[in-house]
């Protein structure tokens, strides 16, 4: 396959579009026309494999793209009830296009494991009795997020529903050991995102929470913060750091009900699919 660029057309362009569609973050119409959308997809692939993102499909881009597509074709395109006579050729023209992937705009799923710290409250109402122990609480967190995002790259908006299970340290003997949270979050993602880093992604979060064991109760709150992450594997595995300031209501409807303003931080690994 020779050099292809904007304005090219024909079966070679259609084969290129098919190969790009094997990537989890791209989905193109395979119309055989090298237009703006195809050029943009080539640029994105080049950025991710550390080539100059000029949008021109040349020998270096071809070598990296087809190497990856051969593996995808072997895994996904051999019918289960057929006898394989020979290894499939890269991106056969007759093969159906892959379905849209969760790596682009649309729904993605995230599973994360990490640790969270809730700092000593800056404000508590009503005031606790004199001498009441107070300090930071550390939590181990396992969570799942269902995320809708408006784009796979560049500045975009993400809407997430995020249930969590927490196991907490204790400052007082009545502090609950176990907790659950349900977070609704709006993130203005990738406002600053050089390379594999995602440095500025502010978010707003609303939380409903329940705790179990001694000191059990229900509460809720809201927070504003920023999320920083680094792609270990683009669109698959991230290290993520969050920091926020929030208002919390605890043990609502009981004599021990309280309101507090606190800071929180969280660090974890996130698998996306």
The fold of 1-101 is Muramoyl-pentapeptide Carboxypeptidase; domain 1 (1.10.101)
Evaluate if residue 203 carries a pLDDT over 90.
yes
Angle between helices 36-48 and 11-20 (to 10 degrees): 50
CA 181/CA 165 separation, integer angstroms: 7
CA 267/CA 166 separation, integer angstroms: 14
For CATH 1.10.101.10, list the domain ranges present in the chain. 1-101
CA 186/CA 149 separation, integer angstroms: 10
Count Cβ atoms below 10 Å from residue 158 Cβ, excluding itself: 20
Evaluate if residue 97 carries a pLDDT over 60.
no
pLDDT band at 195 (very low <50, low <70, confident <90, very high): confident
- Picking from 30, 153, 23, the residue whose alpha carbon sits closest to that of residue 93 is 30
The fold of 106-272 is Porin (2.40.160)
Residues 60-66: what's their mean pLDDT?
Answer: 82
Evaluate if residue 98 carries a pLDDT over 90.
no
User: 79 or 1: which carries more pLDDT confidence?
Assistant: 1
pTM for the model stands at: 0.62
Residue 110 · residue 145 · CB < 8 Å = yes
For CATH 2.40.160.20, list the domain ranges present in the chain. 106-272
* Residue 33 DSSP code: B
Mean pLDDT of the chain: 83
Looking at residue 86, its pLDDT comes to: 44
Looking at residue 95, its pLDDT comes to: 41
Four-CA torsion 171, 173, 177, 183, nearest 10 degrees = -60
Residues 178-186: what's their mean pLDDT?
Answer: 94
Evaluate if residue 107 carries a pLDDT over 50.
yes
Residues 194-204: what's their mean pLDDT?
Answer: 93
Q: Residues of the chain with pLDDT > 90: what percent?
A: 45
- Picking from 69, 55, 66, the residue whose alpha carbon sits closest to that of residue 3 is 55
Residues 99-110: what's their mean pLDDT?
Answer: 64
Evaluate if residue 78 carries a pLDDT over 70.
no
């Amino acid at each position: 396959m020779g050099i292809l660029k904007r304005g090219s057309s024909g079966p070679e362009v259609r084969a290129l579009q098919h190969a790009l569609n094997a990537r989890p973050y791209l989905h193109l119409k395979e119309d055989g026309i090298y237009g703006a959308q195809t050029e943009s997809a080539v640029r994105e692939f080049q950025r991710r494999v550390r080539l100059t993102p000029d949008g021109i499909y040349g020998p270096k881009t071809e070598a990296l793209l087809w190497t990856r597509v051969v593996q995808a074709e072997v895994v996904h395109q051999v019918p289960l009830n057929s006898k394989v006579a020979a290894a499939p050729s890269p991106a056969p023209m007759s093969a159906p296009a892959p379905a849209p992937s969760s790596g682009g705009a649309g729904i993605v799923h995230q599973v994360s494991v990490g640790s969270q710290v809730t700092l000593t409250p800056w404000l508590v109402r009503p005031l606790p009795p004199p001498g009441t122990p107070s300090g930071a609480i550390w939590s181990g967190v396992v969570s799942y997020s269902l995320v809708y995002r408006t784009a796979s790259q560049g500045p975009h908006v993400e809407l997430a529903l995020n249930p969590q299970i927490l196991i907490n340290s204790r400052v007082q003997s009545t502090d609950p050991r176990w907790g659950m949270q349900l977070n609704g979050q709006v993130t203005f993602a990738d406002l600053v995102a050089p390379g594999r880093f995602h440095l500025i992604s502010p978010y707003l979060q609303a939380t409903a929470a329940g705790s179990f064991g001694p000191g059990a109760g229900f509460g809720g709150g809201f927070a504003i913060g920023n999320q920083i992450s680094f792609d270990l594997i683009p669109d698959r595995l991230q290290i993520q750091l969050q920091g926020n300031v929030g208002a919390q209501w605890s043990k609502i409807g009981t004599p021990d009900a309280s309101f507090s303003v606190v800071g929180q931080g969280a660090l974890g690994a996130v698998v996306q699919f």
